[in-house]
């Protein structure tokens, strides 16, 4: 198991669990609708929770003043070590993150 996946699992271990809502998904395996909008979990700034989707993928959801950040296992395969995220567009711009950078970060050994 990669350092990134191990760290992810350790970090979310003690987060409170919330029920998964299928309305969070965008149809491609990402959780665009959990970031902002009517279906997004309503979290306080800094509040962190975890959930598991209907495929068994674990996720962490952290509230910010701009919307939620969702960090999650990209694939249901337990041998997959790819960790990715969705976040508000403004945070991506602030941090200079492009989709390509997101994919590269998800595959690095942190």
Query: pLDDT tens digits, residue range 2-47?
Result: 678 888 999 999 999 999 999 999 999 999 999 999 999 999 999 9
Strands (E), the chain: 48-52, 58-64, 67-73, 83-86
pTM of this structure: 0.83
User: What's the structural domain count of the chain?
Assistant: 1
Closest CA to 12 of 71, 55, 67: 71
Q: Which domain holds residue 8?
A: 3-107
Cβ(60)–Cβ(11) below 8 Å: yes
Q: What is the pLDDT of residue 72?
A: 94
Q: Positive or negative CA dihedral for 77, 8, 93, 90? A: positive
**Res. 95: pLDDT tops 50:** yes
């Amino acid at each position: 198991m990669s350092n990134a996946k191990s760290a992810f699992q350790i970090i979310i271990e003690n987060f409170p669990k919330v029920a998964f809502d299928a309305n969070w998904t965008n149809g491609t395996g990402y959780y665009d609708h959990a970031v902002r909008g009517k279906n997004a979990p309503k979290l306080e700034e800094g509040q962190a929770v975890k959930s598991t989707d209907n495929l068994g993928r674990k996720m962490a959801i952290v509230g910010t003043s701009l919307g939620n950040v969702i960090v999650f296992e990209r694939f249901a395969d337990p041998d997959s070590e790819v960790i990715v995220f969705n976040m508000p567009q403004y945070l991506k711009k602030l941090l200079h993150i492009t989709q390509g950078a997101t994919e590269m970060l998800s595959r690095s050994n942190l």
